[in-house]
Amino acid sequence: MSGYDLYQSLELSRVHPPEQLAEQLDQRIAELRGQGVQDWEPQLDEVLIARTVLGDAGRRTEYDHALDAAPGTAPEADVPWIRALAQRGAGGGWAVPGGNGAGQSSGAGAANALAVVDRYLTPIPLAAVSGVLAVLTFAVFFFSWGKASAQEQSATLDLSVNGFGAALMEIDSWASMTGRDTSPAYVLLSLVILILLVVGAVLLGLSRETRFGGLLVAVGGGLLTLYGLWALITKLGAEDLFGGEEDFGTTFKASVGAGAILGLILGLLTLAVGVLVVLRAKGSLLPQAWTSGKAASSATPAAPGVQDAPSESAELAEPAQSSDSDNDPFRQRPSAEQ
């Protein structure tokens, strides 16, 4: 046997099938992420790599073969080799024993695809993506979402309303005229959407509030999607601005602005990001301040003068943990890999 033994390092049983190992490692990943451990930290990085290698039948077969082979008869299963194996496609190059090969391959491919997605569900990438979507949404709100125009003898009337509900009237005749107005309902809706996206992006940057931030982003994206659909259908009432046909005595031709289409696309993207975070991220869906407050209020206060005795097992476990980390190559990676 040669190489780095993931089974021994993570205290896993080799008799368990890949599906059971994947389930055990998923639980550890959820626990570590719930403790605020980042994916790039060695403690979680090793578990993620083990999940990718041991949770896939093909990769695990190749890893076991290299681990059990005599020195010189197969590639050594050292840490760089294990990392390279984890980055390769599902199934490796070895045959998957037993069962329906096509069904196992497709199932493993879907599981590994989700595992890849989960590796990027970390605070910094999520906050960056959500922040970009919020900035784009803010910019798109300045576009025209609904337009209307009419020709009256020598004058041309153009009416438009943007995503913030700001209406503009332009009359091009022998003397050009302009007029402005606002729609309070659209102003309020656009502000609510932006607040949800900005607050959600900020919370996504906090590892302990990831799912709640994703929920806010999903709600903001859903409202933006509905707003875009409403603009496509109604053109935000552009033909009725400033009195419309009744005051101007002419018929307006309404059309959809570019902002409505872009807003709908951004809304769907934002909604997808938020829903993905809510479904795949770990932790509580509600803020910890709420859940901890409820737990504290429901807890029974301890009797005065009674103190918890220190745990001897916890004190004894600390030296062992430090000694394990000193010998773990995943916790002492070379500077070149950093």
Residues 235-271: pLDDT tens digits? 888 777 665 555 555 677 888 999 999 999 999 999 9
pLDDT digits (tens, 9 = 90+) for 68-126: 887 777 778 888 888 888 887 544 333 333 344 444 444 445 555 555 666 666 778 88
Helical H segments across the chain, by residue range:
6-10, 18-34, 42-54, 57-68, 79-87, 101-119, 123-140, 184-204, 210-234, 244-248, 258-280, 288-298, 312-326
Structural domains for the chain: 6-119 (no CATH), 125-291 (1.20.140)
Secondary structure of 30-60 in the HEC alphabet? HHHHHCCCCCCCHHHHHHHHHHHHHCCHHHH
Please compute the mean of the pLDDT values over residues 297-318 and round it to a whole number: 47
Q: Given a cut of 80, is residue 188 above it in pLDDT? A: yes
Based on the number of CB atoms within 10 Å of its own CB, is 270 exposed (0-12), middle (13-18) or buried (19 or more)? buried
Burial 120-143 (b: 16+ CB within 10 A, else e): ebbbeebbebbbebbebbbebbeb
Q: What local confidence, expressed as pLDDT, does residue 35 receive?
A: 86
Note the pLDDT tens digit of each residue in 28-66: 998 888 888 888 888 888 999 999 999 988 889 888 888
Q: Quick one: pLDDT at residue 159?
A: 81
Please report the pLDDT score of residue 264 as a whole number. 96
Question: How confident is the model at residue 136, as a pLDDT?
Answer: 97
pLDDT given for residue 103 in this prediction: 45
Residue 280 clears pLDDT 50, i.e. is over it: yes
Say whether 101 sits in a helix, a strand or coil: helix
Q: Does 135 have pLDDT greater than 50? A: yes
Confidence of residue 168 (pLDDT cuts 50, 70, 90): confident
Calculate the average pLDDT of the chain: 76
pLDDT digits (tens, 9 = 90+) for 202-248: 988 876 667 888 999 999 999 999 999 999 998 888 777 665 555 55
Q: How far is CA 319 from CA 10, 103, 316, 324, 326, in A?
A: 17, 46, 6, 9, 11
pTM of the shown model: 0.54
- What pLDDT does 89 receive? 56
Q: Which two tokens stand for residue 198?
A: 């900005």
Confidence band, pLDDT 50/70/90 cuts, at residue 181? confident
